[in-house]
Amino acid sequence: MSSRTRRFPWWLLLVAFVVVPLVEVYVIIQVGQVVGAWWTIVLLIADSVLGSWLVKREGRRAFEALRFALAERRMPAKELADGVLVLTGGLLMLTPGFVLDILGALCVLPMTRPVGRRLLAGFIGRRLTAATTGYPGYPGFANDTGARNDEPPGPRVVRGDVVDE
């Protein structure tokens, strides 16, 4: 494995499968102590119903905006980002609990989506930059000495067949 190869962030699995559920259980218990067990269950159910309605409504709006942008024959960057955010928010809102539902609502609500679009654009931009300049053979790759490599390594070879006429 090369030193340039990206490694999977294993700590992310720890956060997703250990820390987040513990935080969700803690918040549910705290809400239950304040409002009671039955009201906590009612709040969780109401949260799910409201979340599914919101995701359906905003998903439909995002899809219609995407169709409109394609009909105008323009690049639907904003509309695609909105679709990704609504889908991500919907997935977060599918999980039981209050914390991820709040994060999901922030992804789905139209007034908070511009912040999510900026974060998403920055993340994708960094990934694309790393993908095109972070590997040998690509123009602009910085080698071990720090010098830029504007030519692919090795001699220039044009492959083909010689045809005698």
pLDDT level of residue 36 (50, 70, 90 thresholds): very high
- Residue 101: CB atoms within 10 A of its CB come to 21
pLDDT level of residue 17 (50, 70, 90 thresholds): very high
pLDDT at residue 134 above 60?
no
pLDDT confidence of residue 126: 83
Contact 47, 101 (CB under 8 A): yes
Question: Across all residues in the chain, what is the average pLDDT?
Answer: 85
d(CA 127, CA 155): 30
Instruction: Give the domain ranges of the chain.
Output: 15-131
pLDDT confidence of residue 1: 46
pLDDT at residue 49 above 80?
yes
Q: Which residues pair with 157 in a beta bridge?
A: none
Q: Among candidates 53, 40, 41, which has minimal Cα distance to 109?
A: 53
Q: Cα 132 to chain center, whole Å?
A: 19
Residue carrying structure tokens 């972070």: 134
In sequence order, the 6+-apart residues with CB closer than 8 A to the CB of 94 are 51
SS3 105: helix
Contact 46, 97 (CB under 8 A): no
Question: How do residues 54-95 score in pLDDT, each as one tens digit?
Answer: 999 999 999 999 999 999 999 999 999 999 999 999 999 988
Query: Residue 93, exposed/middle/buried by CB under 10 A (0-12, 13-18, 19+)?
Result: buried
- Residue 147: CB atoms within 10 A of its CB come to 9
pLDDT level of residue 7 (50, 70, 90 thresholds): confident
pLDDT confidence of residue 85: 95
pLDDT at residue 2 above 60?
no
Around 2, how many Cα atoms within 13 Å sit in the side-chain half-sphere?
8
pTM of the complete model: 0.71
